[in-house]
Structure 1
Amino acid sequence: MGETIFQAHEIIGRGTCVSRAKMKTNGKDNDVIVKWSWLAITRTPEADFVKKAIECAAESGDFWVVNHLPKILHAEQKEFDDDSPQRHLWKHFGDDYELRALYIIVQEGLRPITELTTAAELGEAFRGIFKCYRWLYEKAGIMHRDISRNNLMYRKIDGKVYGVLNDFDLSVFRHKEPRSTSKQRTGTEPYMAVDLLVTGPPPPHIYRFDLESLFYVIAYVVYQYHEGKKIDNPPFDAWDHLPTAALRDKKYSFLFNALTVPPTSNFSALLRLTLLLHKMFLDAYSARTQAKTLVMIGSASTTFDDDTLGDHITFDKFEKILVDIPSLA
């Protein structure tokens, strides 16, 4: 085992801990990442989602997807025995207590997407991650549900950057369980869609929420990072510290106002990308506001498609913005 690179400080939740380590294979020490997390026993283990995706890629011949997925070398699950405090609390409180199990994953080391320093490589990484997410949703029936800065990584193969969609702890098979099976909020709040930032039970998860999260991550990196490091007093920094209701208000303000801050000099070529994505979400939420107003005054029926916000946020439209940016070619 080596240094701890992430440790969640929380009383309730997964309590994730991530460390560097050495793993001996074929007589050689290889650098790996070890992750411990205490997941609700109602959740499907992360390794099962990755295994399903790889099997589906092999069956369909879509071998390119594997370059955008984590390589899991070992996975195991340890449940608490009947005499553990966990089990006694669960027996006492019943369904009001969320029983958890310890999941251990060993995987190939990946690099944080924030380390990329050129617009071309960062743009390529984001396009690869988007394509992987769409394929997982449409072909493997997997919805990630936790698109955040720490979960978007990259690897290099023969000098080429491949964006990697990491951490499937909160994923679901979309036809089986679109709503969270845990009693805790699903996702990482600074990157969560505004429709998920509610005080009551969240709505069933839809892919539009993950696309909105991807947009926030793109904005974070493009406007906050230079030469692989976070700049001083970056925009959106307050999002990391706001309570849920205040964060929801701040995000609505961001979406309904012009995006005027400049990207860092590393990523100035991605300005058009962020402006077009911002406009897409602005148009989408504006369309919903207008539709609700028309219904209230009796000028329209309730046929507005909330899943795509009136067909404004779709895979095709998001991909067109990513693909049609000349500076990323």
Structure 2
Amino acid sequence: MPSASTHHTPVKKGSGSGNFNRDGDSLNAKPMRSALKDEISAYHHSGIELVDIAVAIWGVKRETANKILQLPLTLDPVAVENYKRLPTEGDLHQPFIDFAEELLQKVHAALHPNEPFESFKARVWDREGNTALHHGGRARKPDMLTLFKPMVTDTEVPWWGLVKHIIEMKHDTNKVTTVSQEKSADTNDPSQPADQQPDVPNRALVNSISTKPKVPSRLNPIVSSSHGHNSTHTADSDLTQTSGMVASVVASSKGKGKRNIDEVLAEDDEKAAEEEDQAIKRRKLAGKLKEDHLQLATYAVEAMSATSRNWVAGTLVDTCEVTVLLLDRHMVARTTTFSFDTDVAKFALMIYAMTRCNRLQAGFDPHLRASLSQITEAEAQPTTIRVPEELPFHPSSDPTSSSTPDDEVPPLRLKITGIIRQPDDLISRGTSVFKVKIVGEDGKLSEQDYALKLSWPLKQRPSEIDVIQHLKAKLPAELHDHLPSLTFSTSFSAEQLSLPWTKLGGSLSLNTQNFQERTLRAMLADYYHKLWEAGGPEAFKQAWLDCVECHYEAFRTGKVLHRDLSENNLMVNFVGDEIKGVVNDWDMAKFEGMAWGHLYRYDLESFFYILLWAAIHYDLKQRKKLRKVHSALKGWISNDMDVNAGAKELFMTSPLSYNGVYAAVRKEFKEIEKNLIKPLHDLFCEAMISRSLALRRGKANYDYVTCGGVLTFHTFMEAINVVPRWAKSNK
């Protein structure tokens, strides 16, 4: 009924359900960030130490990490001060990259003097957030991305499946000006009048410089640099250059005159109290998700859905404040924020670890080992998705190993030929489905197509594989054609995949409120077609009826309720001249007694909505689905559950609404509208009225499960004048 409309939406979408609205607001990141906030909040963990991420996730040895943290590393304070004062966020990018490259060179010289240098700078893709990466109907403009190999040309745009790490830059110039003024004020001598204070930056910082890196001209819009091939560069020359830079800050203190010691101490006490208040506020906010974190999460969704990936690392740089986030199907883990201008060694450790980590340590699925397809001009178009070529599975061996012991079964090698479904949510099942062919020992591909499904269901839930095997053991043999035909299946635990949370140990405080363990399951089955590929109205009707009857027998005889029906899991299989409907995707199914809060009639209502949705959006003759959602059904796909439920309730009861919907039914579906859709519409209206009257009258013995017997499988079939083939009895 409409009060439970979220159980039976014809097109499942998210974030949180694996199919975010691709026809409208998914192109706008704002609604996706809102959905991700709801999805992530309960599974957000903060306060992780960067060194733990570097060691446990990115593969740096603890001894090496400690060495880096003890190195006497510094950044030129003049360059840093100029960096902070740059007018826009885009201006920060190149100086930030230069800082990172400088520190990486110093660390490399200290730890690996005899090894070739691996540049950070050469592997950064930076378009200052002005260039979009297209994927899944969405356009995202990340600030910076790091890659395993440099792009071939300056104009080339990377594919999300090649991204190693994500870097998002922010810049609050108001906050920076305030901090700079406070630092400048700290250098003043209170015993002198304000107009006699020296116009210099913090002398302690200047005196700490041991070497002077060359600073790019774009780093110094406020002062001109004397760094040149023939220039003599000293700390004193830096002090001279900065006089103009700090003059505006010092000028604000002029004219105050001398202060006695009591005034100075009082101001110090007041300042200390203010700083403590600010520290308390920062601690309160430390565990909260910010818009910047959610923006990083939207990029992580793209990177994880572009290929089968287990986690993504993102770095948020707010001028100098740095936070690293690890995002996977279980949680978002966030480091304690540090400032790279003061914690220089920590910054160096982060860049070193990010640069040296391999594909496995960057979260890529260990089964994706083959090279990527060559990029063609056609593949560069936004509507085309590139995929890895092969997926070798080792059912009984360590998935992180590329070798197969002699006494084990050789890996199953699969050639990807297309993408059926990609996830666009984060902490969820994250279901990916690929169209594949089996690669034989001779390298030849199978003639038959298969579907490979990779998903992350909750570990505590029944395995989809177990559910299908159970149903085939319980249901008559003639119904087996209406269930997925499995060729291969396996599962991988979090420990086998070395997921971040298994390695962070005591850094995380996991409980049932902030953590739910998931398992990666891989399942290879026969490839089936979508309902809109049925070929014609009669074939479509037959496939839909097959699914209705198979679903009921699974419930009646197998004691299993599907609970997640949509147009994406009612499939069509062509067997010779016959067409058979297949009920797919049983990963949300529960056995009898487990499906609390979900009734069989909810799934019946899903069948009805799928039927009506198809009548408006399927071009059966062309075997395709219309991409644009009809305006009459826009409310049905809203991310707002109240809007979703209201739209369906209006359709059920309002002539203005349902007449508008029926006017949109395609010509080839008019017989289905007459014989199936409208009779079922009447049945559901009758059930609604019966239930409403019972609630109003307070009937004690009313059967709410079936709306007083009005809505059952048999009344459903009787309404459309179809005799069941297997469930003969009306009991």
* TM-score range for the pair, normalised by the shorter chain length: 0.7 to 0.9
Deviations 1:180-218 (A, max 9, x none): xxxxxxxxxxxxxxxxxxxxxxxx211111101111111
Residue 174 of structure 1, CA deviation: 1.4
Distance 1:144 1:25, change over 3 A: farther
Residue 290 of structure 1, CA deviation: 1.7
Q: CA separation in 1, counterparts of 2:474 and 2:589?
A: 16
Q: CA separation in 2, counterparts of 1:310 and 1:53?
A: 29
> In structure 2, what is the equivalent of residue 95 of structure 1?
512
SS at match of 2:565: coil
Aligned-partner residue type, residue 94 of structure 1: N
SS at match of 2:487: strand
> In structure 1, what is the equivalent of residue 433 of structure 2?
18
Please point out which of 282, 290, 293 is paired with 2:696.
293
1:6 aligns with 2:421: yes
Deviations 1:280-320 (A, max 9, x none): 1111111111222223xxxxx32221101111110101122
The 5 A counterparts of 1:72-221 are 72-81=486-495, 84-87=499-502, 88=504, 92-96=509-513, 97-175=515-593, 177-179=594-596, 204-221=597-614
Q: CA separation in 1, counterparts of 2:472 and 2:629?
A: 41
> Are the aligned partners of 2:437 and 2:445 in contact in 1 as well (CA < 8 Å)?
no
Instruction: State the TM-score, normalized to the length of structure 2.
Output: 0.38
> In structure 2, what is the equivalent of residue 198 of structure 1?
none
Q: CA separation in 1, counterparts of 2:460 and 2:682?
A: 38
Q: CA separation in 1, counterparts of 2:492 and 2:450?
A: 21
> In structure 1, what is the equivalent of residue 154 of structure 2?
none
Q: CA separation in 1, counterparts of 2:505 and 2:518?
A: 11
SS at match of 2:520: strand
Q: CA separation in 1, counterparts of 2:709 and 2:464?
A: 31
Distance 1:133 1:307, change over 3 A: same
Q: CA separation in 2, counterparts of 1:107 and 1:123?
A: 24
1:303 aligns with 2:701: yes
1:40 aligns with 2:419: no
Residue 164 of structure 1, CA deviation: 0.5
Residue 25 of structure 1, CA deviation: 6.5
Contiguous gaps of at least 5 residues in structure 1: 180-203, 296-300
> In structure 2, what is the equivalent of residue 279 of structure 1?
682
Distance 1:290 1:108, change over 3 A: same
Aligned-partner residue type, residue 309 of structure 1: C
Percent identity, please. Answer: 23
Residue 8 of structure 1, CA deviation: 1.2
Q: CA separation in 2, counterparts of 1:247 and 1:126?
A: 24
Flag the structure with larger Rg. 2
Residue 233 of structure 1, CA deviation: 5.1
Q: CA separation in 2, counterparts of 1:224 and 1:208?
A: 24
Aligned-partner residue type, residue 638 of structure 2: H
Aligned-partner residue type, residue 425 of structure 2: E
> Are the aligned partners of 2:635 and 2:643 in contact in 1 as well (CA < 8 Å)?
no
Residue 223 of structure 1, CA deviation: 2.1
> In structure 1, what is the equivalent of residue 638 of structure 2?
241
Aligned-partner residue type, residue 229 of structure 1: K
> Are the aligned partners of 2:683 and 2:719 in contact in 1 as well (CA < 8 Å)?
no
Instruction: State the TM-score, normalized to the length of structure 1.
Output: 0.82
Q: CA separation in 1, counterparts of 2:477 and 2:649?
A: 39
> Are the aligned partners of 1:118 and 1:267 in contact in 2 as well (CA < 8 Å)?
no
* Segment of structure 1 superposing worse, 227-236 or 62-71: 227-236
Q: CA separation in 2, counterparts of 1:316 and 1:173?
A: 22
> Are the aligned partners of 1:119 and 1:268 in contact in 2 as well (CA < 8 Å)?
no
> In structure 1, what is the equivalent of residue 667 of structure 2?
265
1:318 aligns with 2:716: yes
Residue 230 of structure 1, CA deviation: 3.4
Residue 55 of structure 1, CA deviation: 1.3
> Are the aligned partners of 2:533 and 2:572 in contact in 1 as well (CA < 8 Å)?
no
> In structure 2, what is the equivalent of residue 229 of structure 1?
624
Please point out which of 651, 657, 663 is paired with 1:254.
651
Deviations 1:115-158 (A, max 9, x none): 22422111111111111011101111111111100000010112
SS at match of 2:449: strand
Residue 24 of structure 1, CA deviation: 4.3
Residue 248 of structure 1, CA deviation: 1.3
The 5 A counterparts of 1:33-72 are 33-57=451-475, 62-72=476-486
> Are the aligned partners of 1:80 and 1:101 in contact in 2 as well (CA < 8 Å)?
yes
Aligned-partner residue type, residue 103 of structure 1: R
Q: CA separation in 1, counterparts of 2:606 and 2:505?
A: 35
Q: CA separation in 2, counterparts of 1:239 and 1:115?
A: 23
> In structure 2, what is the equivalent of residue 194 of structure 1?
none
> Are the aligned partners of 1:68 and 1:128 in contact in 2 as well (CA < 8 Å)?
yes
> Are the aligned partners of 1:21 and 1:33 in contact in 2 as well (CA < 8 Å)?
yes
Deviations 1:65-97 (A, max 9, x none): 111111111111101118632335896221121
Distance 1:81 1:324, change over 3 A: closer
SS at match of 1:92: coil
Q: CA separation in 2, counterparts of 1:86 and 1:279?
A: 52
> Are the aligned partners of 2:482 and 2:583 in contact in 1 as well (CA < 8 Å)?
yes
* Segment of structure 1 superposing worse, 91-100 or 131-140: 91-100
Q: CA separation in 2, counterparts of 1:252 and 1:11?
A: 31
Count of matched residue positions in the alignment of Structure 1 and Structure 2: 291
Q: CA separation in 2, counterparts of 1:6 and 1:164?
A: 17
Residue 239 of structure 1, CA deviation: 1.8
SS at match of 1:4: strand
Aligned-partner residue type, residue 93 of structure 1: L
Q: CA separation in 2, counterparts of 1:89 and 1:222?
A: 53
> Are the aligned partners of 1:127 and 1:322 in contact in 2 as well (CA < 8 Å)?
no
Q: CA separation in 1, counterparts of 2:629 and 2:421?
A: 23
Aligned-partner residue type, residue 147 of structure 1: L
* Segment of structure 1 superposing worse, 231-240 or 113-122: 231-240
Q: CA separation in 2, counterparts of 1:247 and 1:205?
A: 18
Q: CA separation in 1, counterparts of 2:524 and 2:428?
A: 21
